[in-house]
Structure 1
Amino acid sequence: MGYKGPISQRQRRFGEELQRLRTAAGLSAPEAGALVGMKGPAVSHTEAGRITLNPDRLETWLDAYGCTDSAYRRGLAEMGQSNGKGWWSEYEGRVPDLSLDLAELETRATRFDNFETLYIPGLLQSPAYAEAIYKDAYRNGRWDLATAIQFRMDRQQILDSDRQFRFVVHEAALRMQFPGLEAMRAQLAHILSVAERPNVTIQILPFTATKKPPSAGPFVVCNPGCTDLSTIVLDLPGRAEHDGTAESIAAYGWKFQQLSEIALPAVDATSLSSSRNSWGLLQYLLYPLQA
């Protein structure tokens, strides 16, 4: 059965994984198709994310491809059988497709690692800060500003789950004042509030860091419970790039770990008020904004 509408990132990734497994097993598309009663072109369409795949056929292929990792098989099956529907579905046609893809990725993830440089991470943004981010890009454009802000706020409901969220934010993002002093005051206070959640870890990478950061640009690592099925999201001008190659998953996992070690200790309201930890630095930056 073919998909209707645009092919989502999840559908593309599912197809890419099938193609990678088949190629590694040394089978051609016609040979793989013969195993499940499909012709070569249908296999190609499946690997391109254009048509769905029967669960029994998936199991047959995974067996033939020599895939024995139970977590990977389970994760791939869930990816292939998902109908792609969720709370974000009501926003179809009202926000960019890349925003819908990100919401679906976040919902599938059991661990979410995010490094940001100049902007506060979307899952930590206050409404006023989000408006300052969007107002120029959405002015007289295709998308409605109020809808974009509401979508971002709805995304944040996932923080109420038992998933693990880790953020490393550069100090530069905390010092930006383009939203205005009042909005930044509320934004910093909001970060301190969110950091109290047991499943959220927030660290600040200070200007005073003495080690070279392993990444100069922001990125997100969405892990759905199987590292091999993780997705790297790179926020590029006007688009988002998704990468699920083993090399990138390993590289960005290492980068985030290194950033965590370079950054100040996580925000913890029970720690001593000191600019040498993330909580203290946030308080230090918040103080002059309260005048």
Structure 2
Amino acid sequence: MGFRSGINERQRRLGEELRRVRDASGLSASQIGEALGVKGPNISHVEAGRIGLTLERLKTWLDLCEVTDPGYRAGLIAMGESTGKGWWTEFKPHVVPSALDLAEFEASSTALDSYQTLLIPGLLQTKAYSEVIHDYAEKKVEFRQRRQELLTAENAPSFRAVIHEAALHMMYGGPTIMRDQLNHLMEVSKLPHVTIQILPFDCTTYSSTETPFVLMRRAHARLDTVLLEQPHSSYFLGDPEDVAAFRRKFERIRGLALPPLHVAAPSPSATHRDSLGLIQHIRYKIQGR
């Protein structure tokens, strides 16, 4: 049971979940250690993600803690067996660790919910827009483009995005890039598993959060994860109460946002307001610049 040189988010989260089930069972670290044939202090290292477990020991841990829910149990075992390697591995020298963790979590998610305030969500950005955001760092732009392949994969997760109107008015890269970006939003919204809504400036109800976040839903709700995006850092939340709070926040924001983009569907009436109409209005204003 050697110590890891670095701990990724999946390893940290698995340790966190093992601690939760142990606490819920009432078993001590020493009791788990004795059953696994390891010293008690090593259990603390496992729960911190610093060392891993063999599949046999992981299953024994879950048995001792009476983890019988098949979906939750299978999810924990999958996390323990994963090597963490994927297309994102080659980008390790070029992007921050949280970006690698995000790509790994996205790859194993069944659904993604994104709320953005001043930027277009990464999965919806055009290459030109991404270049401006990343100051033309080639590998970072390539990494973002590779992430976007998730939306057109065979088993693509459902993706719901709520974008504050402010992000549509930011002229990152100039009018041409922003006009193309708005066109891209309308194009991507045609995918059956993609839903895009705009939260307008004139929303009269406080939306309760100004922090952009992504809710990554897994096959079992107890393994859902929230990524909070800050200007200089990002961090993940896995505590069930925290995740539940962000689920409620997203549903509230969705309820306050305009109806989703439906490019092919005609407007019900001349007075009807929806996300498509607002994007078309902003695009028209940009064309006049």
TM-score range (shorter-chain normalised) is over 0.9
For residues 2 and 259 of structure 1, what CA distance do their matches in structure 2 show? 45
Offset, 1:41:
2.3
1:104 corresponds to: 104
In the alignment, structure 1 residue 160 sits paired with structure 2 residue 160: no
For residues 269 and 127 of structure 1, what CA distance do their matches in structure 2 show? 22
In the alignment, structure 1 residue 236 sits paired with structure 2 residue 233: no
In the alignment, structure 1 residue 204 sits paired with structure 2 residue 201: no
In the alignment, structure 1 residue 254 sits paired with structure 2 residue 248: yes
Q: Secondary structure at the match of 2:134?
A: helix
TM-score scaled to structure 2, two decimals? Answer: 0.94
1:77 corresponds to: 77
2:273 corresponds to: 276
2:12 corresponds to: 12
Contact 1:213 1:262 in 2 (8 A): yes
Which of 198, 211, 218 is the matching residue for 2:212? 218
2:284 corresponds to: 287
Note the residue ranges of structure 2 that are not aligned, 5 or more in a row. Answer: none
Contact 2:98 2:235 in 1 (8 A): no
Contact 2:212 2:230 in 1 (8 A): no
Tell me whether 120-129 or 206-215 shows the greater mean CA deviation: 206-215
Offset, 1:208:
1.7
For residues 70 and 101 of structure 1, what CA distance do their matches in structure 2 show? 25
For residues 94 and 117 of structure 2, what CA distance do their matches in structure 1 show? 28
2:60 corresponds to: 60
Which of 153, 170, 181 is the matching residue for 1:187? 181
Q: Describe the superposition over 1:255-275 as per-residue Cα deviations: whole angstroms up to 9, x where unpaired.
A: 111111111111101233567
Which of 217, 235, 239 is the matching residue for 1:245? 239
For residues 159 and 3 of structure 2, what CA distance do their matches in structure 1 show? 32
Evaluate the alpha carbon distance shift between residue 3 and residue 147 of structure 1 in structure 2; reply closer, same or farther with a 3 A threshold.
Answer: farther
Offset, 1:223:
1.0
Contact 2:4 2:51 in 1 (8 A): no
Aligned AA (2:283): L
Evaluate the alpha carbon distance shift between residue 287 and residue 2 of structure 1 in structure 2; reply closer, same or farther with a 3 A threshold.
Answer: farther
For residues 34 and 288 of structure 1, what CA distance do their matches in structure 2 show? 69
Contact 1:112 1:223 in 2 (8 A): yes
Q: Secondary structure at the match of 2:105?
A: helix
Offset, 1:211:
2.1
Contact 2:211 2:230 in 1 (8 A): no
Offset, 1:251:
0.3
Contact 1:272 1:280 in 2 (8 A): no
For residues 148 and 27 of structure 1, what CA distance do their matches in structure 2 show? 45
TM-score scaled to structure 1, two decimals? Answer: 0.93
2:49 corresponds to: 49
Offset, 1:3:
6.0
User: Matched residues, percent identical?
Assistant: 46
Offset, 1:210:
2.6
- Cα RMSD (Å) of the superposition? 1.5
In the alignment, structure 1 residue 122 sits paired with structure 2 residue 122: yes
For residues 183 and 5 of structure 2, what CA distance do their matches in structure 1 show? 41
For residues 171 and 6 of structure 1, what CA distance do their matches in structure 2 show? 39
Offset, 1:4:
4.8
Q: Secondary structure at the match of 1:202?
A: strand
In the alignment, structure 1 residue 148 sits paired with structure 2 residue 145: no
Q: Describe the superposition over 1:9-56 as per-residue Cα deviations: whole angstroms up to 9, x where unpaired.
A: 001000111111112222221111111211112222211112221222
Note the residue ranges of structure 1 that are not aligned, 5 or more in a row. Answer: 139-144
Aligned AA (2:179): R
Contact 2:111 2:216 in 1 (8 A): yes
Tell me whether 77-86 or 206-215 shows the greater mean CA deviation: 206-215
For residues 69 and 251 of structure 2, what CA distance do their matches in structure 1 show? 25
